[in-house]
Structure 1
Amino acid sequence: MSTIHVVTEIYIYPIKSLAGISLQSAKTEEMGFENDRRWMLIDAENQMLTQREHRIMSQFYPQIEGGKISITFEDQKHEFSIDESLENILEVNVWDDKSEVVEVNNETSKWFSQHLGFECKLVKILKNGSRKHESSRLQEIFNVSLADGYPYLLIGTESLDFLNDKLDEKITIKRFRPNIVVRTKKAHEEDDFTNFKIGEVQFKNIKPCGRCVMVNNDPENGRLKKEPLKTLSKYRNVDNSVLFGTNIVSLNTGNISVGDTIVF
C-alpha cells in the first residue's frame, strides 16, 4: 500500500460548466459522483452552453442542502429541488453523444435566462443510460452524465506543481475542474495508473484528458488568460492534444473520502 497516493480534494459540478463544490466525501455511481453534472444549460435551439463561449457561467455558484440545489450569482439566489422536473423529454447533444433530458421547471429556466441575457433552459439528465459515450481507444461504451466525455477526472498534485513552476502567475487546481485530486510524487504519473482502489471503490484508468481553452478561464473572476494552455502546449502536446489529468471510470458503487489512500 502506497503512503504517497492519498486523496487530497474531491469536487462535483452539479450543473455543467458552473462552479464546483468541494466535498469531504462522495458517493460513486456509474456515470459519475452523485449529483455531478446531472444538470446542464441549453439555449433556445437545445444546444449545450459552456464556459467556452460564456465565461460568466463560472460565476454561478451552486450548493446542495436538504434535497435542494441553490445557485448564487452576484447578489441573487435561486433554488430548486434535486428531484424536480417537467414531463416533456428533450433530446440534446453533448458533443457527439445524444442524451435524453428534462427541463427542471419554467421558473429556473427564466432565472438563468435573465442573468445570462438570453433565452435558455436548465435541464436534467433523465436517468442512468440516457447518455452513452464510446471510447475509440478501448472500443467500449460508457454510461456518462452530462460531462464532456467521461465520468471522472483525476489529477495528481505534482502535475500542478510542475506546471506552476513554469508560470509567472500561479494557478489553482480549480482551472482543470477535477473530480479527484491525489497527492503524487512525480508529475503526470496519474497518466499511467491502471486499475486501482480508493475507499470502497475500484477505478479503471481510460486515458489522459485532452484540454481546451476553457482552462484559461480564471474561475475567480471569469476572465480569459493566455495561460496555462500556452505553457502546457510546449511540453504536454501529444498528437495535437494538450494533456492534463486522466479520465477514469468507477467499476462499482461506494464512497470515497479525502484522506483515502489509493491501493494499486
Structure 2
Amino acid sequence: MSSVFVVKEIYIYPIKSLAGISCNNAKAEEMGFENDRRWMLIDADNQMITQREHRIMSQFYPKILEGKISVTFQDHEHEFTIDEHLQNALDVNVWDDKSEVVEVNQTTSEWFSKHLGFECKLVKILKTGNRKHESSKLKETFNVSLADGYPYLLIGTESLDFLNEKLDEKITIKRFRPNILINTKNAHEEDDFDTFKIGEVQFKNIKPCGRCVMVNNDPENGKLKKEPLKTLSKYRNVNNSVLFGTNIVSLNSGIISVGDELVF
C-alpha cells in the first residue's frame, strides 16, 4: 500500500439527496461532517424522499453562509437558518432505521412542495442518538445523521479513473457523492484500509459501499443514464452488490482539510 494518500476534495450534502457543497475543510463529528445530511425531505406519509424516485432533486443547490442555508432551484431561492426548527418531534425511517426529526418551518416545507410538485416537509435531525444504524458486518451500532447507512464515504481518484477508462462518456466524482476524495495510485485500494488519521481525526473503514441506480443520475441535468452502473456491475459485483468507494466512521471529532495526508 502506498504510504502517501492526500485529501483532494471534501464534500458535504446538507439536505439528503440534494446537490453537495465542496469544502476546503470540514469538522468531523460522530454522525458525519458538521451540517452533512442533517436535513431531509419527507412526503405526506413521513417517508423519506430521494433522487431515486425524484431525479429533479439533484437540481436543488444549497449554500451555507453566516448561519443560514440557502437553496437555489432554477431561478428561485429560499433560505432558512441552520438552528431553526419547530418543536413537535416526528418519527421517520431512513431505510430500516427509526429516526427522530423535527420540521424546519412551514414556509420552507411549502417552498419545497411548490417546486417539487407534491406535498413534502423539510425536517432536521437534532442530536446524536436520534438515529442509530446497526452494521450487519460488525454487529455494531453507529450514531448516524440522515445518510443512507454510514456517516462518511471515502473514494480514491484512481477508482474513478479506472472506471472512466471503460466508459464512452466520462463522468465526474459527483455521481458517487463522496465525503472525502483522496489521491490514490491503484483502483479501489481504499477498500482495504483499516484505521487511519486525517488531520485531527481518526477514521475506521467499515466496508465497501454498495451502489444503487442513483449513480446513473447525471447531476448536471438530472437525467437518468445507463452508466456507470452497467459497466461497474461487470467488474465490481460482489455477492450481488455493486461496490464503489468505502464507508468509514470517525473515532473522534476534529477538523480535516484538503491537502491533509492519511496516516496509517
Q: Which consecutive segments of 4 or more residues in structure 1 shift more than 3 A?
A: 1-4
Instruction: Please tell me the residue identity of whatever aligns with 1:260.
Output: D
Q: What letter matches 2:255 in structure 1?
A: N
Q: Aligned ranges for residues 94-113 of structure 1 at < 5 Å?
A: 94-113=94-113
* 1:37 paired to 2:37: yes
Aligned residue number for residue 259 of structure 2:
259
Q: Share of identical aligned residues, percent?
A: 83
Q: Secondary structure at the match of 1:243?
A: strand
Shift of 1:4: 3.2
Alignment-mate amino acid for residue 225 of structure 1: K
Report the TM-score when normalising by structure 2: 0.99
Letter in 2 for 1:122: L
Alignment of 1:179-198 (within 5 A): 179-198=179-198
Alignment correspondent of 1:228: 228
Decide whether the 8 Å contact of 1:2 with 1:262 is kept in 2.
no
Q: Using the alignment, how far apart are the partners of 1:17 and 1:154 within structure 2? A: 17
8 Å CA contact 1:42, 1:121 repeated in 2: yes
> 1:133 corresponds to which residue?
133
Alignment of 1:36-185 (within 5 A): 36-185=36-185
1:219 and 1:136 map into 2 onto residues whose CA distance is: 31
Worse-superposed segment, 2-11 or 153-162: 2-11
Could you tell me how far apart the structure 1 residues matched to 2:137 and 2:111 are? Answer: 41
Letter aligned with residue 173 of structure 2: I
State the Cα deviation string for residues 98-120 of structure 1 (Å, max 9, x = none): 00000000000000000000000
Aligned residue for 1:63, secondary structure, equals: strand
User: 1:9 maps to which residue?
Assistant: 9
- The answer for the alignment partner of 1:205 in structure 2 is 205
SS in 2 for 1:196: strand
Over the aligned positions, Cα root-mean-square deviation in angstroms equals: 0.9
Partners of 1:126 and 1:152 in 2: how far apart? Answer: 18
Secondary structure of the corresponding residue to residue 252 of structure 2: coil
- TM-score, L = length of structure 1: 0.99
Aligned residues: 264
Query: Deviations along 1:119-170, whole A, 9 cap, x unmatched?
Result: 0000000211100000010000000000000000000000000000000000
- Decide whether the 8 Å contact of 2:2 with 2:185 is kept in 1: no
Alignment partners' CA distance in 1, 2:157 and 2:131:
31
- Residues 195-217 of structure 1: CA distance to partner in whole angstroms, max 9, x if unpaired? 00000100000000000000000
Report Cα offsets for 1:212-233 as digits up to 9, x if no partner: 0000000000000000000000
Q: Aligned partners of 2:5 and 2:135: how far apart in 1?
A: 27
CA contact (8 A) 1:151 1:248 kept: yes
Deviation at 1:2, TM superposition (A): 5.9
